[in-house]
Amino acid sequence: MPNSNKINFNNKFYITTPVYYVNASPHIGHTYTTVAADVLARYHRMIGDKTFFLTGADEHGAKIEEVARAAGKEPQEFTDEVAASFQLAWGELNISNDNFIRTSNPEHKKAVQKALQFMYDKGDIYLGKYESLYCKGCEQYLSEKDLVGGLCPDHKIKPEMMSEESYMFKLSKYQEELLAKIKSDELEILPIERKNEVVSFYENGGLNDISFSRKNVKWGVQLPWDKKHTAYVWADAFLNYLTGLDWNGSINASLVKGVGGIKNEKSTNLRYSRGNIDFWPADVQLMSKDILRVHATIWPAMLLSLNLPLPKTLFIHGYFLIDGQKMSKSLGNVITPGDLVKKYGVDGARYLIVSATTFGHDGNIGWDKFDEKYNADLANGLGNLAARSVALAVKMEKSKIKNKNDNLKLKIKQSWNRYQGALEDFRIDAGINIINNEIKYLDGYITENKPWELIKNEDERVGAVMYNILERIRHIALMAYPFMPDTAEKIYESLGLGMIEKVKFEEAIKWGGLEVGINVKKSNSLFPRI
Ligand code: MSP
């Protein structure tokens, strides 16, 4: 494939987001990861890769139990409600996830029990005693080094000293093997700064055995060999990446090899149910830096313990601040996906969120910036371009729109190469820039060629000029599809074409896909100005 040196998806693509804690409803941070994953999933489906996109809810642990009780509800009832609010939000944002995994799902729990039993039988889990500082907010043990002024830096609360009988996971056993795999990029961590952080963590102190069970937490997965204990919430949560593919906890030969039985066929719109585990290993797991450390230590160590292949890439995107501040209920600056959709529409919200920052770097967002970008890129950019071009074409006799070969054809090929290279390297923002440059270029072409004058003067050049404009818009719509699927489909429709979802990619990106004599139809304004 063009312009990229590390594409090795074998025509299958498995992408995950973290399972989000259901102690609160979805906010813009969760939305960012989910929309970014959706863009990549839609892109891979569009190019014909057999694709599986997983997201879900992380429902166990002391904190969630506490929040549920405070709300006067049983944990199950409470998590049912919050998990539903996540599903609703993703539905509203047109997220194309193939499954929504909930860790309180009985099948998930059974698989977790089976997996932990396997690790226990192998001797990787043993009974010990654990004593450490524990932050209830993080659901994680912290070391003195992690604290700032004696407090958890994320939750600003004092961690408690905990000492208890606990089953321990022999994490230390996997130190050398994991470090080697991370250094060699067998387990790739992107961007490179994040890989360096992980490597230096391994090299300075590295992995110690960790507590893998809790005696005093009832809301969790019971250890099958000792029912007084429930599984450490992260151990339970990580396995979602496998149970989300309907894995039942058995370690079979094809899974161990990670070859899978995925056939190379177009997957658009399929919802899989059987044999999904063949999608493992994940091609990319998206998350932000808050949970990189555990994903680069405990998670791959569990996989090694289970004799399973590691994910190919962990991609760590940046963390959002709202107008320079951490998002929090007490500051009252939480932005929800619903707020965005209400103001900017579904595709406006999707676009604004994924274009807010360079993918992989922290970013500052806020309503003013969103308004500005919406008007510049969508109302005055794509929306205006599509509307004025279609309006001109509608005025013309359709038989006069002619495909004449010229150098625009070459240019579009270069843009596609760059666009594919960007998305296949997870440079989502670079993909967006290519689309916006295409829009600017076409705006310039229109200003230069003045098709309205050509129409008025019945100039014969108008046929080719209008063809170029409309064909170019068709390409822009295709490129925009992973980001703004509905808008892209509407543009395709107004060009008298069928659904993008059904196109054959290699054909669709050739110059000349727009038929001569097409029936161009006006559509409603795509992005009304704010
Ligand atoms: N439940 C764990 C993950 C378990 S995965 C086996 C968890 N959940 S979470 O609800 O706290 O979600 C964290 C993830 O949400 C981050 O890794 C990131 O993907 C997303 N974000 C939450 N807040 C964010 C920002 N402010 N900015 C960007 N993304 C962040 O951790």
Which of the two residues, 338 and 409, has the higher pLDDT score?
Answer: 338
Q: Please state the φ and ψ torsions of residue 257, each to the nearest 5 degrees.
A: -75, -25
Active-site hit among 44, 135, 312, 475: 135
The highest-level CATH class for domain 366-508 is mainly alpha
What b/e sequence results for 338-368 when a residue is b if at least 16 CB atoms lie within 10 Å of its CB, and e otherwise?
Answer: bebbeebbbbbbbbbbbbbbebbeebebbee
Which residue carries 């190019």 as its tokens?
47
Q: Among the CATH numbers 3.20.20.70, 2.40.110.10, 1.10.1060.10, 3.40.50.620, which is that of 12-322?
A: 3.40.50.620
C-alpha of residue 287 to centroid of ligand 1, in Å = 6
What percent of the chain has a predicted confidence (pLDDT) above 90?
Answer: 77
Q: What is the mean pLDDT of the chain?
A: 91
Residue 414 has pLDDT above 50, yes or no: yes
> Residue 380: what pLDDT?
97
What pLDDT digit, counting tens, does each position of 171-201 carry?
999 999 999 999 999 999 999 999 999 999 9
What pLDDT digit, counting tens, does each position of 16-66 carry?
999 999 998 999 999 999 999 999 999 999 999 999 999 999 999 989 999
What pLDDT digit, counting tens, does each position of 443-485 carry?
999 999 999 999 999 899 999 999 999 999 999 999 999 999 9
> Residue 10: what pLDDT?
55
Alpha-carbon distance of 287 to 264, in angstroms, equals: 28
Residues of the chain with CATH 3.40.50.620: 12-322
What pLDDT digit, counting tens, does each position of 217-267 carry?
999 999 999 999 999 999 999 999 999 999 999 987 777 776 544 544 444
Residue nearest atom 6 in ligand 1 by C-alpha distance: 238
> Residue 258: what pLDDT?
64
> Residue 232: what pLDDT?
96
Check pocket membership of 58 for ligand 1, CB cut-off 6 A: yes
What mean pLDDT comes out for the span 154-176?
93
Q: Is 50 helix (H, G, I), strand (E, B) or coil?
A: strand
Check pocket membership of 426 for ligand 1, CB cut-off 6 A: no
Q: Please state the φ and ψ torsions of residue 5, each to the nearest 5 degrees.
A: -105, 0
For the question of residue 326 being annotated catalytic, the response is: yes
Q: Is 129 helix (H, G, I), strand (E, B) or coil?
A: strand
Residue 3 has pLDDT above 60, yes or no: no
Residue nearest atom 24 in ligand 1 by C-alpha distance: 29
According to DSSP, the β-strands at 320-322 and 12-21 are unpaired
Check pocket membership of 383 for ligand 1, CB cut-off 6 A: no
Residues of the chain with CATH 1.10.730.10: 366-508
What pLDDT digit, counting tens, does each position of 325-336 carry?
888 888 889 999
Check pocket membership of 288 for ligand 1, CB cut-off 6 A: yes
Residue nearest atom 12 in ligand 1 by C-alpha distance: 20
Contact 268, 502 (CB under 8 A): yes
Residue 344 has pLDDT above 80, yes or no: yes
Check pocket membership of 320 for ligand 1, CB cut-off 6 A: yes
- Here the tokens at position 231 are 């599984």
> Residue 377: what pLDDT?
98
What mean pLDDT comes out for the span 161-168?
90
Q: pTM to 2 decimals?
A: 0.92
